[in-house]
Amino acid sequence: VHIETRLRKAIQKGDIDVYYQPKIEAKRNVITGVEALVRWNDAELGFVSPEAFIPIAEEAGLIQYLWEVVMKKACSQVSEWNKVSDEKMTLAVNFSPRQFQDPVALVNEIKHFLSLHRFDPAWFEMEITESTLLMNAEETIKALHLLKKYGISISIDDFGTGYSSLSYLKKLPIDCLKIDRSFIQDIQEDYSNSEIAQAIISLSQSLKLEVIAEGVEEEYQKAFLMKNGCDHMQGYLFSKPLAAEDFEEAFLNS
């Protein structure tokens, strides 16, 4: 209850930070996008991991308000960056399954925030997990089609770890698969991981989807991925998620 009360206050006051992790096109070595990741550093509790407080926010009915804070900050920040950077960046935001209970409302809220910040929907990316597709299947499918029509792109996060059937990849307006970082680890020694990563890359190629590898930490992983046709990557090798000032310092003040 204590943590919930403090989280509610933090959200009300906008005391929630957004960190940014670049998505890299390896061949050209350029940043093509950023993923917004929520951060909460509480005066009493200290740094609380999103893995701990997002479930609490969901239970307490706060996820919507948390998302609004993230949207406001991330849309205005990335709009600013795109005015000054050589290469425009996409903005990816994570969505919880709970947010799909009312698809029409969700679509209207996204439209509201993007137009408020004059953020071109073509540069906005929604990240959902396979469990989102399972949870409220019909509502989610409806929302995805509306969002697609509006022009935003849809990525499946942590791909390969869920239980959903692959047939949805053909039926749904999905743009990108994010290979879960567990399959990128030990790609050199772990034969089954490298086989799974390769299988996801070729699946995305045959279905004409984009593919990005998460959790790329080592040069050998980057080399393996490039050799196998996956040129988009994200991970500590390039950068950990950074506060806005640090992101500017590292990537925009050349």
Q: Which residues bind ligand G (CB under 6 A)?
A: 21, 37-38, 49-51, 54, 70, 94-96, 157-158, 181, 214-217, 235-236, 241
CB of 250 to Mn ion, least distance (A): 22
Cα-to-chain-centroid distance, residue 173: 17
Tokens of 141: 């499918």
Tokens of 201: 């890359």
CB of 141 to ligand G, least distance (A): 19
Q: Which does 221 bind (CB under 5 to 8 A by kind): Mn ion, ligand G, Na ion, none?
A: none
Choose between 171 and 220: whose C-beta lies nearer to ligand G. Answer: 220
Residue 157 binds Na ion, judged by CB under 5 A: yes
CB of 35 to Mn ion, least distance (A): 9
Q: How many CB atoms lie within 10 A of CB 65?
A: 16
Q: Which pairs with CB-CB distance under 8 Å and at least 24 residues apart come from 103-109?
A: 103/139, 103/140, 103/142, 103/143, 103/146, 104/142, 104/143, 104/146, 106/143, 107/143, 107/146, 107/147, 107/150, 109/68
Choose between 157 and 231: whose C-beta lies nearer to Mn ion. Answer: 157
Among 13, 61, 64, 21, which residue's Cα sits nearest to residue 40? 13
Quick one: CA dihedral 151, 101, 51, 2, positive or negative?
A: positive
Residue 35 binds Mn ion, judged by CB under 5 A: no
The count of residues interacting with Mn ion (CB under 5 A) is: 3
Dihedral Cα 233, 235, 239, 245, nearest 10 deg: 90
CB of 91 to ligand G, least distance (A): 12
Q: What is the DSSP letter of 87?
A: S
Spell out, one character per residue from 112 to 151, where the chain touches Na ion: x when CB under 5 A holds, - when not. Answer: ---------------x------------------------
Please return the burial class of 61, using the count of CB atoms within 10 Å of its CB with bins 0-12, 13-18 and 19+: exposed
Residue 99 binds Na ion, judged by CB under 5 A: no
Residue 158 binds Mn ion, judged by CB under 5 A: yes
Choose between 14 and 84: whose C-beta lies nearer to ligand G. Answer: 14
CB of 107 to ligand G, least distance (A): 17
Q: Contact residues for Mn ion (CB under 5 A)? A: 157-158, 214
Q: Contact residues for Na ion (CB under 5 A)? A: 94, 127, 157
